[in-house]
Amino acid sequence: MKTAVLSLLFPVCITWPAFAGPCSGAEAQLAKISKALTLNTVDTAENSLRALSSSYPDCPEIVLHQARLAQAKGSANQAAELYYRFTDTDPNDSRGLAYFGRFFLEQGDYMRADALSAAAVDKNPDDPVALALRGQVLVMKGQSSEGQALLEKATKLDPDDPEAQFQLGTIYDKAKAATKAVEHFRRAATLNPQDARAWDYLALNLEPTGDPDGSDQAYQKGLRVNQAGRYHDAFLDYNYGRFLAKRNDLAASKEHLDRGVQSVPEIRAVWYERARLNLRMHNYQQARTDAEKAAACKQQGGILDLQIYSLLSQVYARLGETALARKYMDLTRETPPPVRGEQR
Amino acid sequence: MMSRKFFTIALVVVLATPPKTLWGADAGRIQFENRQKNSGVSFVLDNSTLPDKPMIDGVPGGVALLDYDSDGYLDIFFTNGATLPGLTKEGDKFSNRLYHNNHDGTFTDVTARAGLRGEGYSVGAAAADYDNDGFTDLYVTGFDRNFLYHNNGDGTFTDVTAKAGVTGVSPTGKKLWGISAAWLDYDNDGKLDLFVTNYLDWSFATSRACGSPGKRLSCSPTLYKGEPNILYHNNGDGTFTDASEVMGISRHIGKGMGVAIADYNDDGWMDIFVANDNERNFLFSNRGGKAFDEVGVESFVAYTDSGLPVSSMGVDFRDWNNDGKPSLIITALGGETYPVFRNEGNGFFSYDSYKAGIGFRSFKMSGWGAGIQDFDNDGYKDLFTANSHVSENADLDGQQHYRQANAVFRNMHDGTFQDVSGNAGSDMQIRAAHRGCAFGDLNNDGKIDIIVSAIGSPAELLYNASTGGNHWILIKTVGVKSNRDGIGTRIKLIAESGLVQYNHVTTAGSYASSNDPRVHFGLGADAAIKEIELKWPSGTVQVLHNVKADQILTVTEE
């Protein structure tokens, strides 16, 4: 009996290469490449892919990683073409659908990102890549608790995915759960030190935990890597400028707020913050210019009309513009403060 | 001839010496010791509560320091809660308490004899001699009842609320929810008037439950309408007239918590600051005793520099940087930081929380009582806050804590403060649901002590055990033409070294509490005072020269 079994197995073993897939033997290297792309070590991934693609010309997973590489390098058209190629070849691969979905998300095509993320989780509800994307999409759709649950699961299955850690951090950030947010942003920034967003959020959340020095360091690390690309943070200078004002380093604060204004001039918050700083520095004319620009901005960036009225009333009062000061003081009085939640 | 080497060393030593010690003040440590244990003060603030955590259970806890028997030592009065929703002081546990100071560190409960047990859900207390008879009277605010207790001078008090007409009821007949009260002579007629802050239009019928069952949190005050404050004018015959409308007070609807008074614009008329919870704060500027103009927005104290309100709770209004201009410290909830508004002297205040070094340190604190007092007698006033979150279940949040340690910030003489709570003694590390606190010198040793009330735990008697041996003076004012307590008198002191300080006579400030009416100055190394100038509310200016330090000086108005 034992001999019979062995004899049955033997032909299977010796004919294995004939049945092996086109990526067979490259699994370990592919995993390394995938990890490198996840961690945004693009050069490593590119070199390894180049070497591997000549040896495994028919391996579809190489196409998937080429698509991710093109995406990481900002070649959107090439990335799209490669993602299509991969998903045509293997429409049931949850990772392919998820990465393609993330590509669409980065392109601002939320409908397709939504569809692909749903399909990816449907194909494999235990794929951390699919879960992370779906979680993020659900949060964006306002289904926060469902999204959070998926992101929690994703980070448990793969704690080394910096994007999943980052997205989970943003949920805790919104909930003002700074300690938990710090945990995830720190992990995201450690895994992918090129992610300026993660450093920025880490800094923002370290501050309320009572660690301003840690916050300062995180901002500086973020500023060192804040370059154009998928991890660029347009608000990093703005946030650091605000932070430095609290640390009473007004000159440095001004430098960063100046950059913040250049970076996102369409956002009210950056003008507002620089106006506040100029007011504090007794640069009243500049404060006036900035405050008036803030008032004219359509994108509020979290700054309410009440805050603008209060600021303008102070600026005009300091400048001796009595009528204008009175107008905005009246508006300040008449505008009710925001209702911030039912409980505290 | 002095050698060059010696001169260089001497110069280095001088330059290396922090400026604060150049004039001789000893930079001793601020230390507090809680001597409640053997004091005979067993008071525990009982807020009562219900599973739904109604708004009322978060806000009680006023304390008053008053010398009710005129023996020269401060006695202690605590306000207390009541049953909910019944609002009755059933049994002893809800009784307000008066403790007589036995001059040896112990106190005797004299509540029953004094007749100060109280009724209803009490919140705040304000002490002063409103009828100029030489005995300190007491006003008690509450949710359902306010009381004016007249001091009979024999250790007993008489409830004269109805006769005096200070019931805390609005002209429409609604009892407003009283929190804090302040005695001041707003028209400088020699008779103390009364200002009462009122909080929310809330009742058990309209009460909402926030958070989830079993994990209820205190609701935001934004769910309820605010109420007007009340200003009672003292008629001088034991009665008061509600002057809220005529004086321009009642048209400003806020959510009043703490109140403090000071003449912020140095025009000789006392002004009133009201800390409003999640609404813009009010600064009532006194227009010559004829009316009040609410100028919170105009003076930039309505909101923080972000243009938004915070959960303003307690407040003190004194000059901490020795520039003669009273400035503000306000307590708030965690995540907001404690606002510090520096009086620029030109009608404007600067939001200086971060500049003063309070911002980052107070970010995680939630506070109630607050005081600007010189705890180390170095000639610069420090800050103290009584801390606790409003929500009993705040810890569910993970970021907030219901029970917190109090905080003390040392004045660094350069417009900044340093949080020295961690080094201020083990009793400053007590985590409790602190509420109101009152400041005064309990044992007449020249150091400002603090009584802190706490929900569910014994009140803390924080005796000032600061080291350093700096000199001091306590000034007790006796008005003749002015009100007898001299409330509103502005005092300028020039020490022997030339250091100039300012303070004023008031019992108001902190949260729902009433402080020592004597004005305290720390003098550092100065054993003598060159000059003391008193500007009485009557307009009289009185100047004393060459005054010895380390004494309680009684100054009677000339």
Per the CB < 8 Å rule, is B218 touching A246? no
pLDDT of residue B25: 53
Q: Give the span between the Cα atoms of B105 and B250, in whole angstroms.
A: 43
Nearest 5°: phi and psi at B411?
-75, 120
**How many CB contacts within 8 angstroms connect chain A with chain B?**
92
Residue B341: its H or E element: strand B340-343
Per the CB < 8 Å rule, is A332 touching B307? yes
Q: Give the span between the Cα atoms of A265 and A261, in whole angstroms.
A: 5
pLDDT of residue B398: 76
pLDDT of residue A17: 41
Pairing of strands B433-440, B449-455: antiparallel
- For residue B243, give both structure tokens: 């002057």
Q: List the single residue in A with minimal CA-CA distance to B303.
A: A310
pLDDT of residue A343: 83
Question: How close B358 comes to chain A (CA, Å)?
Answer: 10
Q: Which residues of chain B make contact with A177, given a CB cutoff of 8 A?
A: 397-399
| Nearest by Cα to B186 from B264, B287, B301, B256 | B287
Q: Which residues of chain B make contact with A314, given a CB cutoff of 8 A?
A: 300
Q: List the single residue in A with minimal CA-CA distance to B362.
A: A210
CB B292 within 8 A of CB B283: no
Question: How close A41 comes to chain B (CA, Å)?
Answer: 35
Q: Give the span between the Cα atoms of B283 and A229, in whole angstroms.
A: 50
Per the CB < 8 Å rule, is B219 touching A342? yes
Per the CB < 8 Å rule, is B307 touching A309? yes
Per the CB < 8 Å rule, is A344 touching B305? no
Collect all residues with Cβ–Cβ distance below 8 Å to B368 and sequence separation of at least 6: B61, B313, B314, B331, B385, B386, B387, B388, B434, B435, B436, B437, B511
Q: Give the span between the Cα atoms of A174 and A341, in whole angstroms.
A: 13
**A159-224 CATH choice from 3.40.50.300, 1.10.1040.10, 3.40.50.11860, 1.25.40.10:** 1.25.40.10
Concatenating the DSSP letter of every residue in A174-230 gives: HTT-HHHHHHHHHHHHHH-TT-HHHHHHHHHHHTTTT-HHHHHHHHHHHHHH--SST
pLDDT of residue A3: 43
Q: List the single residue in B with minimal CA-CA distance to A311.
A: B307
- For residue B177, give both structure tokens: 């929810």
**Residues within 8 A of A (CB atoms), B 344-403 only:** 348, 350, 354-355, 359-360, 363-364, 390-391, 397-399
Per the CB < 8 Å rule, is B354 touching A280? no
Concatenating the DSSP letter of every residue in B80-107 gives: ----TTT----SSTT--EEEEE-SSS-E
How confident is residue A20, by pLDDT bands cut at 50, 70 and 90? low
pLDDT of residue A16: 39
Measured between alpha carbons, how far is residue B501 from residues A272, B276, B381, B495 in Å?
38, 29, 9, 8
Does the structure show a pLDDT above 50 at A326? yes
Q: Give the span between the Cα atoms of B105 and B432, in whole angstroms.
A: 23
- For residue B18, give both structure tokens: 């922090």
> Within 10 A of B363 (CB to CB), how many other CB atoms are there?
19
Per the CB < 8 Å rule, is A306 touching B360? no
Per the CB < 8 Å rule, is B305 touching A177? no
Task: List the single best residue of B225, B251, B278, B360 to mutate versus A (max A Cβ within 10 A).
Answer: B360
A93, HSE (Cβ side, Cα atoms, 13 Å): 16
Q: Which residues of chain A make contact with B362, given a CB cutoff of 8 A?
A: none
* CATH code for the domain defined by A234-339: 1.25.40.10
The answer, for A164 touching chain B at a CB cutoff of 8 Å, is no
How confident is residue A299, by pLDDT bands cut at 50, 70 and 90? confident
Q: List the single residue in B with minimal CA-CA distance to A272.
A: B306
pLDDT of residue A162: 95
> Within 10 A of A211 (CB to CB), how many other CB atoms are there?
17
Q: Which residues of chain B make contact with A246, given a CB cutoff of 8 A?
A: 354, 359-360
Per the CB < 8 Å rule, is A329 touching B309? no
Helix axes A236-246, A212-225, angle to 10 degrees: 150
Per the CB < 8 Å rule, is B359 touching A337? no
CB B55 within 8 A of CB B202: yes
Mean per-residue pLDDT, A167-182:
94
CB B506 within 8 A of CB B489: no
Which residues partner with B340 through β-bridges? B329
Q: Give the span between the Cα atoms of B166 and B189, in whole angstroms.
A: 19
Q: List the single residue in A with minimal CA-CA distance to B398.
A: A177
Q: Give the span between the Cα atoms of B391 and B400, in whole angstroms.
A: 9
| Nearest by Cα to B477 from B542, B415, B395 | B542
Question: How close A223 comes to chain B (CA, Å)?
Answer: 22
Mean per-residue pLDDT, A184-210:
96
The answer, for B311 touching chain A at a CB cutoff of 8 Å, is yes
Per the CB < 8 Å rule, is A314 touching B210? no
- Residues listed for chain A: 344
Nearest 5°: phi and psi at A217?
-60, -40
The model's pLDDT over B413-434, given as tens digits with 9 standing for 90+, comes to 999 999 999 999 999 999 999 9
Q: Which residues of chain A make contact with B304, given a CB cutoff of 8 A?
A: none
Per the CB < 8 Å rule, is B354 touching A176? no
CA dihedral B323, B325, B330, B336 (to 10 degrees): -70
Per the CB < 8 Å rule, is B355 touching A245? no
Per the CB < 8 Å rule, is B360 touching A207? yes
The answer, for A212 touching chain B at a CB cutoff of 8 Å, is yes
The model's pLDDT over A233-251, given as tens digits with 9 standing for 90+, comes to 999 999 999 999 999 999 9
- Closest partner residue to A337 (CB to CB) among B280, B390, B398 is B280
Three-class SS of B398-435: CCCCCEECCEEEEECCCCCEEECHHHCCHHHHCCEEEE
Q: Give the span between the Cα atoms of A258 and A263, in whole angstroms.
A: 9
- Give CATH 1.25.40.10 domain extents, chain A: 159-224, 234-339
Nearest 5°: phi and psi at B277?
-80, 110
- For residue B211, give both structure tokens: 């958070």
- Closest partner residue to A342 (CB to CB) among B210, B297, B305 is B210
Collect all residues with Cβ–Cβ distance below 8 Å to A284 and sequence separation of at least 6: A278, A315, A318, A319
CB B333 within 8 A of CB B389: yes
Question: How close B281 comes to chain A (CA, Å)?
Answer: 11
Per the CB < 8 Å rule, is A307 touching B307? yes
Mean per-residue pLDDT, A311-318:
98
CA dihedral A259, A261, A267, A272 (to 10 degrees): 120
Question: How close B220 comes to chain A (CA, Å)?
Answer: 5
Measured between alpha carbons, how far is residue B437 from residues B107, B340, B368, B511 in Å?
18, 19, 8, 7
Per the CB < 8 Å rule, is A343 touching B398? no
Q: Give the span between the Cα atoms of B368 and B389, in whole angstroms.
A: 9
Residue with tokens 């710090």: A182
Collect all residues with Cβ–Cβ distance below 8 Å to B198 and sequence separation of at least 6: B168, B176, B177, B178, B179, B226, B227, B228, B229, B230, B256
Mean per-residue pLDDT, A113-129:
96
Q: Give the span between the Cα atoms of B420 and B516, in whole angstroms.
A: 24
Question: How close A263 comes to chain B (CA, Å)?
Answer: 22
Q: Give the span between the Cα atoms of B79 and B180, in whole angstroms.
A: 11
CB B136 within 8 A of CB B128: yes
Per-residue pLDDT of chain B (558 residues; tens, 9 = 90+): 344 444 444 434 334 444 444 344 556 799 999 999 999 999 999 999 899 999 999 999 999 999 999 999 999 999 999 999 999 998 899 999 999 999 999 999 999 999 999 999 999 999 999 999 999 999 999 999 999 999 999 999 999 999 999 999 999 999 999 999 999 999 999 999 999 999 999 999 999 999 988 889 999 999 999 999 999 999 999 999 999 999 999 999 999 999 999 999 999 999 999 999 999 999 999 999 999 999 999 999 999 999 999 999 999 999 999 999 999 999 999 999 999 999 999 999 999 999 999 999 999 999 999 999 999 999 999 999 999 999 998 988 778 899 999 999 999 999 999 999 999 999 999 999 999 999 999 999 999 999 999 999 999 999 999 988 999 999 999 999 999 999 999 999 999 999 999 999 999 999 999 999 999 999 999 999 999 999 999 999 999 999 999 999 999 999
CB A48 within 8 A of CB A41: no
The model's pLDDT over B87-109, given as tens digits with 9 standing for 90+, comes to 999 889 999 999 999 999 999 99
Question: How close B81 comes to chain A (CA, Å)?
Answer: 22
Task: List the single best residue of B399, B400, B404, B412 to mutate versus A (max A Cβ within 10 A).
Answer: B399
CA dihedral B428, B430, B432, B435 (to 10 degrees): -20
B33, HSE (Cβ side, Cα atoms, 13 Å): 10
Q: List the single residue in B with minimal CA-CA distance to A177.
A: B399
Helix axes A60-72, A42-55, angle to 10 degrees: 150
Per the CB < 8 Å rule, is B309 touching A210? no
Q: Which residues of chain B make contact with A248, given a CB cutoff of 8 A?
A: 354-355
**Residues within 8 A of B (CB atoms), A 72-111 only:** none
pLDDT of residue B34: 98
Q: Tally helices (H) and strands (E) across chain A.
A: 20, 0
Per the CB < 8 Å rule, is B208 touching A342? yes
Q: Which residues of chain A make contact with B391, given a CB cutoff of 8 A?
A: 343-344
Q: Which residues of chain B make contact with A178, given a CB cutoff of 8 A?
A: 399
The model's pLDDT over A50-80, given as tens digits with 9 standing for 90+, comes to 989 888 988 999 999 999 999 999 999 999 9
Q: Is B72 left (phi over 0), alpha (psi -120 to 50) or beta?
A: left
Does the structure show a pLDDT above 90 at A6? no
The answer, for A214 touching chain B at a CB cutoff of 8 Å, is no
CB B383 within 8 A of CB B328: no
Q: Please give the ipTM for the structure prediction.
A: 0.90
Three-class SS of B133-181: CCCCEEEEEECCCCEEEEECCCCCEEECHHHHCCCCECCCCCECCEEEE
The answer, for B101 touching chain A at a CB cutoff of 8 Å, is no
